[in-house]
Structure 1
Amino acid sequence: MAEPGPSDLRGFLAVAEAGHLTDTAAILGISQPTLTRRIRRVEEFTGATLFDRTGRRLVLNARGRAFLPHVRRMIAELEDGVAKVARLMDPERGVVRLDFMHSLGTWLVPDLLRDYRARHPHVEFRLHQGAARQLVGRVLSDTADVALVGPRPEEAGGELGWHQLRLQRLALALPEAHPLAAEGAVPVNLQEAAEENFIGMLPGYGTRLLLDRLAAEHGFTPRLVFESMELTTVAGLVSAGLGVALLPLDDPYLAPVGIVLRPLDPPAHRELGLVWRAGAGAAPPVDRFREFVTAADRADGGWTSRRAGG
């Protein structure tokens, strides 16, 4: 007895979802007898009839309903495998799994994708947003190919490749009426805010990692009164007087209305860069995209300079 092939399983799934042989055959672009033979091969392999006929419709019986989720998983696994092979073959029509932090979704990622897709319009991107540490984990587990994160992860130089794209100076964000805001943009030591309420990012997010690290270096633990997934929310709540925050000075989309940004002294920075699995290769679409991002001449009139101060 021959095992059913992928086309047989897809035929079974299509009939199970549509409930009609003639209509399903037309959708699949095959004859009804061909589709009937495909269904029969699946039933012969399982050793049971999987459909009951109700008028002109075919309805899954209990055996068919039990088999259906397994067929769906088999087809999904097959398609995933085919997609992975395709990614290894054609740099112009493959897939790049790109992860990025929420704060980069308004400027860096759109600029980057716009320029790359203008050169390689048939490459497919599968995008995912998340916390910096989560994204690093996804790259390490091969759930993502590359990720735009910050700060530089501890795995960089070992399990991960790293290319720095931007270096943003960090500042203490203060409500305009706050006493520490009176000196304007004069640099400030973070220790001066040790007793303040902080608005911060959620644990695992890049700017939160920086806040926790810098506060520890200054001998205190920040008192968090609200944690967010978005830097814009953090800035907005600071402007409302709910607390202070650690923010980058030159993010083009933060629009710090109603707040004063005082650079940290000693200076501290938020590194933004691209990570990938060290030694990963042989996937031309991913390799070409990574080369595009990391090419030094991109900074000369390319996407990295499009946003002034970005």
Structure 2
Amino acid sequence: MSDISATDLQGFIAVAESGHLTDTAAILGIPQPTLTRRIRRVESSMKANLFDRGSRRMVLNSRGRAFLPHARAMLAELAEGSSKIARLMDPERGTIRLDFMHSLGTWMVPDILRDYRSLYPAVDIRLHQGAARELVDRIRVDATDVALVGPRPPEAGEELGWHQLRLQRLALALPEDHPLAREGATPVDIRQVKDENFVGMLPGYGTRLLLDRISAGFGFSPRLVFESMELTTVAGLVSAGLGVALLPLDDPYLAPTGIVLRPLDPPEHRELGLVWRADAESAPPIDQFREFVIGGV
């Protein structure tokens, strides 16, 4: 089949529908010998004559009738593929695969999408939500185009492109009746609660990666009594007295009640940013979206 072109298929279908070689060549605006060669290439590829040829007409035989719907399907598939490629190359109508962490689904992601879609309403944005480590792995295997994650992945700068968007100071979340809560919002050393129960995110989630790194740096492993996918759940369970937790201090949609947030001393931060494959081929819709996010957040 590799020797059949789209124009060969178009010629075959046109003659099959009209039954006239000369008239069809005139309609297509090509010489009759050119159309004849196209028909011959199709028949040669099929290893069979597809027409019964008379003095004035060309009528499909049983083999031609069997092949005709497949020829139409092949042309339709080519047209659809061409349309999809054109769409991928159109920055105003292309497809963007965007991944993001659960905790960004209440503020950063809606803000970005609202502003971007106001400029490019026809863009096709496909979303996926998950843990930070999972999202970075999806970038690496080309399962998505860009991801909003934190903290900065270790592969950034080599295998992955990275741009920091926000830097949130981390705090120790305490129930209101905890002894350390009496000192208000002053900085606190996390080692003061190293022997207490912690409420944390599941392994692979951004804030859990930070908790593991910070606690390991001080030589202890937090005793986790519950692991969640949502920071709001973590905050709620801390307020219920289930334990203490690590939370970002200035998350605009994390409105803690019944807890006190004390920034860590020494200071620690949650770095939020956009990540993409450094070796990804240039694609106008994705390039434009990435530049928009980097320039606007």
TM-score bracket for the superposition, by shorter chain length? 0.7 to 0.9
Matches within 5 A, 1:142-157: 142-157=142-157
Partner of 1:198: 198
Q: Percent identity between the aligned chains?
A: 74
TM-score, L = length of structure 1: 0.70
Q: Distance in 2 between matches of 1:83 and 1:259?
A: 54
Distance 1:241 1:286, change over 3 A: same
Q: Tell me, yes or no, if the aligned pair for 2:88 and 2:95 is still in contact at 8 Å.
A: no
Matches within 5 A, 1:20-35: none
SS at match of 1:209: helix
Partner of 2:165: 165
1:171 partner letter: A
Q: Distance in 2 between matches of 1:146 and 1:243?
A: 35
Partner of 1:185: 185
Matched, 1:127 2:93: no
CA RMSD in angstroms, aligned pairs only? 2.9
2:258 partner letter: G
Deviation at 1:79, TM superposition (A): 11
Partner of 1:274: 274
Matches within 5 A, 1:170-249: 170-249=170-249
2:211 partner letter: L
Deviation at 1:259, TM superposition (A): 0.1
SS at match of 2:253: coil
Distance 1:274 1:129, change over 3 A: same
Q: Tell me, yes or no, if the aligned pair for 1:281 and 1:287 is still in contact at 8 Å.
A: no
Deviation at 1:180, TM superposition (A): 1.2
Q: Tell me, yes or no, if the aligned pair for 1:87 and 1:283 is still in contact at 8 Å.
A: no
Partner of 1:113: 113
Q: Distance in 2 between matches of 1:42 and 1:242?
A: 70
Distance 1:86 1:252, change over 3 A: same
Q: Tell me, yes or no, if the aligned pair for 2:189 and 2:265 is still in contact at 8 Å.
A: yes
Distance 1:270 1:112, change over 3 A: same
SS at match of 2:121: coil
**Which structure: larger Rg?**
2
Q: Distance in 2 between matches of 1:209 and 1:191?
A: 17
Partner of 1:284: 284
SS at match of 1:291: helix
Distance 1:202 1:81, change over 3 A: farther
2:113 partner letter: L
Partner of 2:13: none
Any unmatched runs of 5+ in structure 1? 6-36, 46-76, 299-303, 305-310
Q: Distance in 2 between matches of 1:160 and 1:221?
A: 30
Deviation sequence 1:263-293 (CA, Å, 0-9, x none): 0000000000000000323210000000111
TM-score, L = length of structure 2: 0.73
1:225 partner letter: V
1:232 partner letter: T
Distance 1:240 1:39, change over 3 A: farther
Q: Distance in 2 between matches of 1:283 and 1:160?
A: 16
Deviation at 1:85, TM superposition (A): 2.4
Q: Distance in 1 between matches of 2:174 and 2:227?
A: 16
SS at match of 1:127: strand
Deviation at 1:41, TM superposition (A): 4.8
Matches within 5 A, 1:27-106: 41=67, 85-86=85-86, 88-106=88-106
Deviation at 1:43, TM superposition (A): 10
Distance 1:236 1:133, change over 3 A: same
Any unmatched runs of 5+ in structure 2? 7-62, 72-76
Partner of 2:21: none
Q: Tell me, yes or no, if the aligned pair for 1:133 and 1:205 is still in contact at 8 Å.
A: yes
Partner of 2:260: 260
Deviation sequence 1:200-243 (CA, Å, 0-9, x none): 00000000000000000011000000000000000000000000
Q: Distance in 1 between matches of 2:246 and 2:64?
A: 62
Deviation at 1:88, TM superposition (A): 3.9
